[in-house]
Amino acid sequence: MVPSTESSTKKIHRMKEDRISKLPQNLQETILGFLPIQDAVKSSILSTKWRHCWTMIPNLIFDFEFVDRIMSKLDGIRNPELRAHKLVSVINKVLLLHNGPILKFSLTFPAVDNTEYGFSKEIIHEYIDQWIPLFARKGIKQLTLDESSKLEDFRRHNLSSLDLTHLTLLRVWFPYTPTLGKFTCLTNLELVDATSNFGKSIFHCPVLEKLTLIICEGLFPNNFCAPNLKRLVQIYREITSEYSLVGLKNLSEYSFMLAGHPVTQAKTSNVAKVLGGVHKIKRVSLAKYSLKGLAAGGFPNRLSKPLPYLKFINISDIDFGALSEVSCLVCLIRSAPNLRTLHIVVKEELEEYQIEDSEECIMLHLEIVSFSDFKGVIAELELVKFLLACSPSLKSLFIHRDCSIKDCASALKITEEMLQYTRASPRAQIRHLESPVNIIYGTNCFDRKLWSDNYSLF
């Protein structure tokens, strides 16, 4: 049937109708909030209805793409100070024209090493000092500053004057001293490659819930008075014997990556100092040489006080060639009576190892165990025997075999031996996997994204 002229006209009218412009203003601002800041500003030329809409978006993100686009237009300017002024003038204009609240502000500095004629970061810091009162009036909650490369004489901005809930600082000197007051509203603090003369300074963050410290030399959890801290994520090159989690009584999630071998000999048990006082801990994730660091100074059969809330343990890169690491892991398992999930990534192997007194440890709630890169050596098999014998609720034991187990005969021999082990759980199944267990990092266990994003720091 041939459509009528009237219906065709209505169809064309519907096609020409600007439905987006008829959306409520808050929805228009939400749409613009998903665009890069330069594209959001360009929306002002669409129509009179869109002219000022961008000035109300609450999140201003001046990321690497934005900065790189501006800097590419300044190739003919050789003066570092003038280049900085040109960049800051663009940001300053956006801030002056902005009419609504600014809830989030993020700025990535140009990489000085990648600019042909240099760049004066001091100019940006001078403007940041001027922007802080504006941020306070606009009700800012989240602030991110990414230096790109370190500035040794970083200006200590009075950021504690802001009611921030989230603060992220990359490659800066931590801009805070106790004389400037407290971060009374801060719930999330992330510091990456931040340094300063911390000493024994205590930074007061009374409502802080998550603390992330990535390659922060000389800065440890005990530098923070954070009685409500629940999540702690750390990546260090090395740790000292003074490292502990004393005072973090409400900590529930702990992710720790030690990038290099421990260089300091501990006089007392590190695992007792670090985990012995966090009795509300629910999840522990250790990567690289972290377990080796915790094993330093010796380890008890189990911690003096159990960890009744601990339900998830993720151990990456365990060295089964080190008796201390395997024994430290067993200490953690014995100290977690309500453990439900255990994930292990095997690094090296120990030829001879035996777990004694396994009958003293009953893990009533352990349901899932997984091994990645399993090599089938004695220490690994001994740990499998221990877990099967002490876990009456075990459902599945997942085994991903290492590539070193190439022939079927070796794999069959390992399987036959495990099938002979006593099982406390009549429904426990041993399942073989073609690929390693994929743990979703960054949510409830170790944040692999943080590690990969900052790998260049090493």
On the 0-12 / 13-18 / 19+ scale of CB atoms within 10 A, 430 is middle
Is the pLDDT at 344 greater than 70? The verdict is yes
Residue 243 has a pLDDT of: 74
What residue segments make up the domains of the chain, in order of their start? 291-458
Is the pLDDT at 34 greater than 80? The verdict is no
Residue 447 has a pLDDT of: 43
- To the nearest whole number, what is the mean pLDDT of the chain? 78
Residue 215 has a pLDDT of: 87
Arithmetic mean of pLDDT, 401-417: 79
Kindly list the distances between the CA atom of residue 389 and the CA atoms of 95, 185, 365, 428, in Å, as whole numbers in the listed order: 65, 49, 13, 11
Q: Which residue has the higher pLDDT, 420 or 1?
A: 420
Do residues 323 and 296 touch, judged by C-beta distance below 8 A? no
Is the pLDDT at 99 greater than 80? The verdict is yes
Is the pLDDT at 458 greater than 90? The verdict is no
* pLDDT band at 84; cut points 50, 70, 90: confident
Is the pLDDT at 198 greater than 60? The verdict is yes
Closest C-alpha to 245, from 176, 293, 292, 177: 293
Do residues 169 and 190 touch, judged by C-beta distance below 8 A? yes
Residue 364 has a pLDDT of: 85
Nearest-angstrom CA–CA distance, 63 and 261: 35
- Considering only the C-alpha atoms of the chain, give the largest distance between any 2 of them, rounded to a whole number of Å: 91
User: What's the predicted TM-score (pTM) here?
Assistant: 0.80
Q: What are the tens digits of pLDDT across the range 231-289?
A: 999 998 877 666 778 788 899 999 999 888 776 666 778 888 888 889 899 999 998 88
Residue 372 has a pLDDT of: 87
Is the pLDDT at 443 greater than 50? The verdict is no
* pLDDT band at 142; cut points 50, 70, 90: very high
Residue 433 has a pLDDT of: 81
Q: Which residue has the higher pLDDT, 435 or 117?
A: 435
Tokens 């990321």 -> residue: 63
Arithmetic mean of pLDDT, 314-332: 85
Is the pLDDT at 174 greater than 90? The verdict is no
Least trusted range by pLDDT, from 221-230, 265-274, 411-420: 265-274
CA-CA-CA-CA dihedral for 53, 57, 61, 67, to nearest 10: 20
Q: Which residue has the higher pLDDT, 451 or 345?
A: 345
Q: DSSP labels for 234-252?
A: EEES---TT---TT-TT--
The three-state (H, E, C) secondary structure of the chain, written as one string: CCCCHHHHHHHHHHHHCCCHHHCCHHHHHHHHHCCCHHHHHHHHHCCHHHCCHHHHCCEEEECHHHHHHHHHCCCCCCCHHHHHHHHHHHHHHHHHHCCCCCCEEEEECCCHHHCCCCCCHHHHHHHHHHHHHHHHHHCCCEEEEECCCCCCCCCCCCHHHCCCCEEEEECCECCCCHHHCCCCCCCEEEEECCECCCCCCCEECCCCCEEEEECCCCCCHHHEECCCCCEEEEEECCCCCCCCCCCCCCCCEEEEEECCCCCCCCCCCHHHHHHCCCCCCCEEEEEECHHHHHHCCCCCCCCCCCCCCCCEEEEEEEECCCHHHHHHHHHHHHCCCCCCEEEEEEEECCCCCCCCCHHHCCCCCCCEEEEEEECCCHHHHHHHHHHHHCCCCCCEEEEEECCCCCCHHHHHHHHHHHHCCCCCCCCCEEEEECCCCCCCCCCCCCCHHHHHHCHHHC
136-140, 274-278, 318-322: which is most confident = 136-140
Residue 133 has a pLDDT of: 93
Is the pLDDT at 135 greater than 90? The verdict is yes
